[in-house]
Amino acid sequence: MNVRKVGIVGCGLMGSGIALACAKAAIPTVVCEVNQELLEKGIKRLFSYIEKMIAKERATETDRETIKSHLSGTTDLTDFHDCDLIIEAIPEKIELKTELFTKLDKLVKSEAIFATNTSSLKVKDVARSTSRTDRFLGLHFFNPVPVMKLVEVVRTDEVDSEVFKSAMAFIERLGKVGVACLDTTGFVVNRLLVPYLLDAIRAYQAGIASVRDIDNAMRLGCGYPMGPLTLLDFVGLDTTYHVAEIMTCEFGKEMYHSPILLQKMVKKGLYGKKSGRGFYDYSSDEPVPNDKELQELVSAEDD
């Protein structure tokens, strides 16, 4: 099945990035949000990003015009009626995802493919909310979507082989690499990545090294492009917490359990870059370690 038009549900950090990637590939793309304010905020973020890429000569003015001519926004799910592929990028809560897909199942054409961008839930658990489990798969993009080449393409035991092939071809059209995964909690990347990120938090919490030094150690010692605490800020501390909780329930292993510091940061609203503060403070042009606030949380935990 050739994907001629794409619908994206959610215009947050992930949704706007997926929309940008689709529109940049000259695929007509409709992105939907729950209200006009959030929609405009997401689209503004999208174009702000492309302007920064143009300034750095990593994108062109032609890219910007291609995106403008292939992207539209809506607050009405019925505008997805003629989409060939609909990708969900809403919060990592199964009740929200199943409610959404139950609605979409009745609104769009029967041959449309559904995809969830879940990073930790089992795809089949979300697919059960629809009448098209054979046309339902996972497309797990990575943040920041315009830069990251990988997409985990998650295949359930019910998805049609031609639908899976279409999804892989679509990912290739975006200039990305699709990795075929079985439908298991965390897929490939998070199954390996989450324990590493949580251990980085534990190392800071134990006073082994500073925020900057932990990040530099893994960047310069292991050749990683980004340190673990910086990566946590980009992923979102709240997202990491939810993923860790799901994986703890699934596998029952201590390595997936959220450290106390992560729990306290999430409770305080320190989600990382999207909230302005996490392991780093993003209030200035150059992020700086958020040492004072973090040490207060560590000390409170010690008490």
Q: Please list the active-site residues.
A: 119, 140, 152, 190
**Sign of torsion over alpha carbons 25, 11, 230, 52:** positive
Write phi, then psi, for 176 (nearest 5 degrees). -115, 170
Checking phi first, is residue 154 left (phi over 0); if not, alpha (psi -120 to 50) or beta?
beta
The number of C-alpha atoms within 13 Å of 253 and in the hemisphere containing its C-beta is 8
| One-letter amino acid for residue 95 of the chain | E
∠ at Cα 247 (156, 298), nearest 5°? 155
Q: Which two tokens stand for residue 51?
A: 């302007």
Residue with tokens 């032609």: 62
Checking phi first, is residue 223 left (phi over 0); if not, alpha (psi -120 to 50) or beta?
left
Give the chain's radius of gyration (CA, Å): 20
Q: Identify whether 259 is preceded by a cis peptide bond (ω within 30 of 0).
A: no
Residue with tokens 């702000």: 48
> Which residues, 6 or more positions from 74, have their beta carbon under 8 angstroms from its beta carbon?
30, 31, 32, 39
